[in-house]
Amino acid sequence: MAEQFESRPGDEWYALVSVPRPGSASLGKAVMLAASIAIALIALNFYAPGSPTLLERAFASAILASLALPVWLWMSGADPTIPFMPFLTLVFAYYFALPVFLLRKFATALFKPPVPEYYITLALGYSLVGLYCMFAGYYGPAKWLFSPILPRFNLQWRDLRAVKPFALILGFGGLFASHVVEFLPESLAQIGVFAADLSMVGICMLVALHLAGKLDWLTAAFLWGFLIPVRIAIGLGTGSAASGLIVGIAVAMMFASVRRSIPWKMMALGTVALFILRPAEAPYRMAIWGGRLSDASMIEKAQVFGNIVYRITVGGAVPPQVLIDIASLRLAQFTVFGEVIADTPAMVPFWEGESFYPILFKPIPRFIMPDKPEEVSGSWFGHRYGIITPENIKTSINLPQIVELYGNFGLIGVIVGMFIFGLFYRLLLEMYVHPGMGLGALVGGVYVSSKLIDIGSATSLTFGVIPWSMVLIGLIHLIVQLAEIDARSLDLRAPATARARTT
């Protein structure tokens, strides 16, 4: 094995990612996984304050239980790649199953009437079908048709003298780059967004090095004690919990990839945080989005957000059950799905691909095409289905991808579209994860795939950033390569200088 690594530089990273831990595929591990999910389902079914119907319970339980499939395939080594599908399935379950057992009524908003049970049942059933169609695309044989013609990214970063300082520059400098957006014209706003992502790429690089035992303790302390918490806080400071949590997901995915183990404790902590941060979003947004703190500094915003979180938790301003209700209401996407099924095509005609149109222009920068179509799905979708009132022009409603597939083409859109999504996910990861991939490909695979975790947003918003995310990783790779060449040139000059001094 050592000789193979010498002949194929970078294979050590592929081995870390693809080789399962000893005993991870044992019968005991399988029983433990099955028992954990069974206990969780029993507890949720007993708790369910809204008394869902038998079919609703069955569909929601099946979605939650389906998490065991991608987790086991990854743990056993049958899925020799980064654990993207286990994390994606977990997010899917949070949106389309978990709130079934937590909500008291199945409505799209706090003061909206409940969606009729028939359409909730259909939404849950279609969600289960869509999930397994996605599995079929991801794990099925269709990928072998395209795999031979896929490009493979060999992004090998081997010189720590170049990699570690550059990762620190990205991680620390990217924290300040998030403010670039405020000073850029609208045509260049996307550049500011990717500039802010530099910190996440740098953090992923440092996390991988630390977990592989290639980072000194001082840098590791700076990473976990400052960089990661501050980057998450900056994301939360935008008023969107997802912007902060996505950093945690990327870190957890990198942790799982290198250690070859799902960080269940980290994920449990993230789940608890989710049920605190979601309720804190609403009052915080009112203060910073056009409110009295719209021009406040990052530190002032962080203090306000911290005070809100303190009041609704330790301060006891909001009872725990109310926190669960609010967070579940904001998480639940199956209620939106049920509303769309009820009204399409009875009241709203099928969209016939209308919402996918903007994705055709996403790769084109706005400074090249100033009049390219705007992404306004959150606005027209909410108004079209009466989820937000006509006079409300500020509120935006997320358009989940599976709901978007149904709104465009009905159930056949869910079946075919989710299969295509699963196939796309697999092919994208195949480009990054392969023998000889290198550290850069691991970082790129985690960073790019973390963008796809946001299945609660429209397809053009999520998939549209992938090409430029790949370009960003490519540019970073070129810079690292130049830095490594420069480091090697210093090594070559050093002996010559030493000889000159001795003569």
Residue 502's identity, in one-letter code, is: T
- To the question of pTM greater than 0.95 for the whole model, the response is no
Judge whether residue 426 has pLDDT over 50: yes
For residue 175, CA distances in Å to 22, 102, 149, 306 come to 39, 36, 38, 19
Q: How far apart are alpha carbons 118 and 135 in whole angstroms?
A: 26
Amino acid at 77: G
What region does 424 belong to: left with phi over 0, alpha with psi -120 to 50, or beta?
A: alpha
- Kindly report, residue by residue over 458-494, the tens digit of the pLDDT: 998 899 889 989 999 999 999 999 988 877 776 666 5
* CA–CA gap between residue 353 and residue 400 (Å, rounded): 15
Q: How confident is the model at residue 244 (pLDDT cuts 50, 70, 90)?
A: confident
Phi, psi torsion values for 184, nearest 5 degrees: -100, 150
- Summarize the confidence of residues 249-264 as an average pLDDT: 93
Burial class (CB in 10 A: 0-12, 13-18, 19+), 83: buried
How far is 63 from 55, CA to CA, in rounded Å? 12
The helix-helix angle for 189-211 and 241-259 (nearest 10°) equals: 30
**Residue 158: strand, helix, or coil:** coil
Express as a percent the part of the chain with pLDDT over 70. 87
Buried b (16+ CB within 10 A) or exposed e, 244-253: bbbbbbbbbb
Range in 122-126, 141-145, 443-447 with the lowest mean pLDDT = 141-145
1 band by pLDDT with thresholds 50, 70 and 90: very low
Split at pLDDT 50, 70, 90, the class of 4 is very low
Contact (Cβ atoms closer than 8 angstroms) between residue 212 and residue 258: yes
Of residues 280 and 444, more confidently modeled = 444
* pLDDT attached to residue 8: 43
Q: Is pLDDT larger for residue 367 or for residue 352?
A: 352
d(CA 85, CA 257): 12
Distance CA 128, CA 117 (A): 17
Rounded-to-integer distance, Cα 65 and Cα 43, Å: 13
State how far the alpha carbon of 472 is from the alpha carbons of 189, 328, 490, in Å: 15, 35, 27
Cα separation of 322 and 308, whole Å? 15
Q: Token pair for residue 11?
A: 């294979």
The model's pLDDT over 411-420, given as tens digits with 9 standing for 90+, comes to: 999 999 999 9
> What pLDDT is attached to residue 9?
45
Q: Where are the beta strands (DSSP E) in 85-130?
A: none
SS3 labels along 237-285? HCCCHHHHHHHHHHHHHHHHHHHCCCCHHHHHHHHHHHHHHHHHHHHHH
